[in-house]
A and B are shown apart, each in its own frame.
Chain A
Amino acid sequence: MSAASSNLDTASAGLSAAYRDPRQGRGTGRTRLWRRVVDWALIGAAFAVVAGVAVQARAQSTTLLNVSYDPTRELYKDVNAAFAAEWKGKTGETLTIRASHGGSGKQARSVIDGLDADVVTLALSADIDAIAREAKLLPAEWQKRLPNNSAPYASTIVFLVRKGNPKAIKDWDDLVKPGIGVITPNPKTSGGARWNYLAAWAYAQQKYGDEAKVRDYITALFKNVPVLDTGARGATTSFAQRNLGDVLLAWENEAFLVFDEFGADKFEIVVPSISILAEPPVAVVDANVDRKGTRKAAEAYLQFLYSDKGQQIAAKHHYRPSRPEVVAKELVDAFPKLKLVTIDRDFGGWAKAQPEHFGDGGTFDQLYKPKS
C-alpha cells in the first residue's frame, strides 16, 4: 500500500514540475510519520506470513521432494497426483509431493549441496553416482536396489525434423552433410545431450569401427551445431520456437511432447537406424529420508513407478515402460522399433564413459580445440 502510494507521489511530481527538488515529494512530518507506521506494519505482516507458512509446513503430514531433470515435468505431474491419491486411499495420510526440475547435473549438485530431496529421478546414473560419491547420501551400490538397474522407464534418442522433412534426413549420416543445422544441447551441461552424443558415437563406431574416423564423424556433426543450449528444454525451444536448424536430437519423449505441444502438422519424427537405450534412473536419498522420517512414503513412491498404473502413466508420456506387458498394447506399439545400444554393454558404463567423453579434456572438449 505505502509503496504504491509513494510511487504515485513521485510520478505526479514528475509530471508537474520540470525541475524537481530532490527533497520534494517526501511529504510533511505527519504524513511521514504515518508512512513509517504503515511500513512497520507491513514488515510485521510479512514476518507473520513467513512464520505462518513455516508453522503450516511443519504441521502438514508428509511432504516428499522429488528432484528430477527437465523433460519429466509433465510425467511427474501425473505420477504425483496418481500416487498421492493411492497413498491417501491406503494410509489415509495426505501426501504432498513437490517436484524440482532442471538440468540433471545441476539438480545432482543441488542435492549434494543440501537440497532436501527424498528421491532423485535424474537423467543419468552418473549424476546419482556423484551424489553417492561426493556427499555420501546414499550407498554406492544404489542402482542394485530397484529392478532393471533402478530405471522404471527408458527412452531413446530420435530426430525431430520439420514437416515434410525438407532436407531428407533419414539417418545419422545425413547430419554431417554441409548445410544441415543440427540442434542439440551442450553435453557438458545437459544429461540428455550426453545420450545424443553417445548415440551418434555408437552409430559411427558401428559404421567405421576405427576410432579416428569416429572422431572425424563427431567433429563434422558438431560443426553443424549452430547453438549449444545448456539444457534439453532450451534446445527444444531453439528448434521449435526460434526455428533454428533442420533437425533436433531429442529424447523420444521430448520429441513426442513437441508433437503434442506444437501440433503434428509442423514436425515429423525420424527414427534413425540405431540409437542408444537411455535409462534415467531413480533412487531414494537415504540420508534425507531417514532424517525426515519419510522413508516409507519415498520407497512406495518409487515402487509405484514400477506398478501397472505407474508404467501406464510413463507410457502415456512416451517413456518406454520397463514392463511393457502390463501396459495397453496400443501405447507400446506406438514406440518405433530400432536397434538400441546400451551404455553398460557398449560404453563400459557411465563410470567409464563420463570421464572419457565428457570430462575435462575428454573427447567432447577435443572437438572444439583449435588446431595449433
Chain B
Amino acid sequence: MAQALVLGRRTSGPGVLPGFGLSIGFTLVYLSLIVLIPLGALALKAAGLGVDGLLKIAFDARVLAALKISFGVAFAAALINAIFGVLVAWVLVRYEFPGRALVDAAVDLPFALPTAVAGIALAALYAGNGWVGALLEPHGIKVAYTPLGIMVALVFVGLPFVVRTVQPLMQELDREIEEASATLGASRLQTVVRVLLPPLLPAVLTGFALAFARGVGEYGSVIFIAGNMPYVSEIAPLLIVIKLEEFDYRGATGIALIMLLVSFAMLLVINLIQAWSRKRYGHV
C-alpha cells in the first residue's frame, strides 16, 4: 500500500528530513551491487561476441522462435492477468463475504511457492490424466506440453502483480464518484469505462508490466509443463540453459542480453504509455 502511494507522489527535492546524502549513497551502492554490476558483467561477457555475433544469435531461426514464444506468451498471459486481476481486486475491495481474508491471502501464494513446485502441480493437473486435463482433452484442447501450457504457468506466476498494484488504488476510489456518475445519467458501462477505469489505468499498466517481465524470464514453472519441443514450445530461458550445457557461456549471455534489450524496450514503451495516461487522467 505504502509503496504505491510513494510511487504515485512524485517528490522532486529531498524534502525536510535530513539524510539525503546518506540515503542516495546507499541507494546507489545497493543498486550497483544487486542489479547494475551483475547486468554489467553479463553485457561484458556478451560483448565478446561483437555486434555481428549478437545479430547472428538474434536471427538464428531457433532463437527467434524461442523469443517469439517467450515474449508472445508472456504478453498474452500478462494481458489476461490485467483483465482478471482487476476483477479479482474489485471483488476483494468492494465486497464483503465470508473467507475474504483467505482469498486475499491466496492471491499471494504464487509469490511464495517455489516455481518448480507450481510447474509440477500445473503439469499434473493439466496433463491428459490430470483433473483438468481429463476434462479438456476429450474436447480436443491440449494444455500441458503445448504453448497453451506455458501460458497457464505464466498466468499463475503473474497474477499477484496486477491484483496487488491495483488493490490499494481501488481502495481509495470513493463510492460517491460512482453514485455521482449514476445521478448524472451515466449508464453502468459508462461509469465503468469513463469514471472507474481511467484512474486505475496507470496501476493496471504497472501490474501488467511486472507480470510481463516476470513471465519473460520465468523458467522453473514453465519447464515442466511446456513440453520443450524446439520451434514449438521451447522458451528462450531454456535455450540459455542449453547453451550453458554446451559450455557456450558467451552464447548464453548473448541470448540473455537480447532478452534484456527487448524487455527493456517493451517496458520503456509501457512506462511511456503509463506516463501519458497519468498526464491525461491524473491519478488518485
Contacts and interface: CB of A to CB of B under 8 A. Distances in A.
Contact of A14 (B100, B129, B244): B100
A228 B228 contact: yes
Given A22-B2, A243-B127, A370-B61, A359 B246 contact: yes
A226 B227 contact: yes
B90 interface: no
A11 B227 contact: no
A186 interface: yes
Contact of B248 (A11, A20, A22, A360): A360
Contact of B123 (A134, A186, A242, A368): A242
B145 A226 contact: yes
Contacts of A237: 120
B127 A242 contact: yes
A227 B241 contact: no
B247 interface: yes
A19 B171 contact: yes
Interface centre among B5, B62, B224, B231 (most CB of A within 10 A): B224
B128 A11 contact: no
A244 B104 contact: no
B100 A15 contact: yes
Interface in A219-266: 226-230, 234, 237, 241-244
A317 interface: no
B96 interface: yes
Contacts of A101: none
Nearest to A15: B101
A243 B128 contact: yes
A230 B123 contact: no
Nearest to A354: B246
Given A19-B171, A228-B228, A189 B2 contact: no
B224 A234 contact: yes
B128 A242 contact: yes
A228 B227 contact: yes
A122 B244 CA distance: 17
Nearest to A105: B245
Contacts of A242: 123-124, 127-130, 144
Given A22-B168, A370-B61, A227 B229 contact: yes
A368 B60 CA distance: 13
Contacts of B120: 237
Contacts of B7: none
A296 B277 CA distance: 68
A357 to B, nearest CB: 12
Contacts, number: 85
A360 B251 contact: yes
A316 interface: no
B241 A14 contact: no
A109 interface: yes
Given A22-B168, A228-B228, A243 B129 contact: yes
Interface in A271-328: none
A98 to B, nearest CB: 21
A208 to B, nearest CB: 25
Contacts of B1: 22
A134 B247 contact: yes
A334 interface: no
A188 B242 contact: yes
Interface in B180-231: 223-224, 227-231
B251 A22 contact: no
Given A229-B228, A370-B231, A11 B101 contact: yes
Contacts of A360: 243, 246, 248, 251
Given A20-B171, A243-B127, A189 B231 contact: no
Given A14-B100, A22-B171, A230 B244 contact: no
A105 B245 CA distance: 6
A228 B238 CA distance: 11
Given A188-B245, A189-B242, A368 B171 contact: no
Contacts of A358: 246
A4 interface: no
Interface string A1-31: 0000000001110110011101000000000
B224 A189 contact: no
B228 A230 contact: yes
Interface string A100-129: 000101100100000000000000000000
A130 interface: yes
A360 B168 CA distance: 49
Contacts of B144: 242
Interface in B1-32: 1-2, 5
Contact of B245 (A15, A106, A369): A106
Interface in B134-176: 144-145, 168, 171
B185 to A, nearest CB: 26
Nearest to A228: B228
B245 A189 contact: yes
A12 B102 CA distance: 11
Nearest to B229: A228
Contacts of B104: 14
A320 B227 CA distance: 32
A234 B116 CA distance: 12
Closest A-B pairs by Cβ, 3 of them: A368-B230, A242-B127, A14-B101
9 contacts: A103-B245, A109-B245, A130-B247, A134-B247, A228-B227, A230-B238, A241-B124, A359-B246, A370-B231
Given A109-B245, A130-B247, A360-B248, 4 more contacts: A14-B104, A15-B100, A22-B168, A226-B227
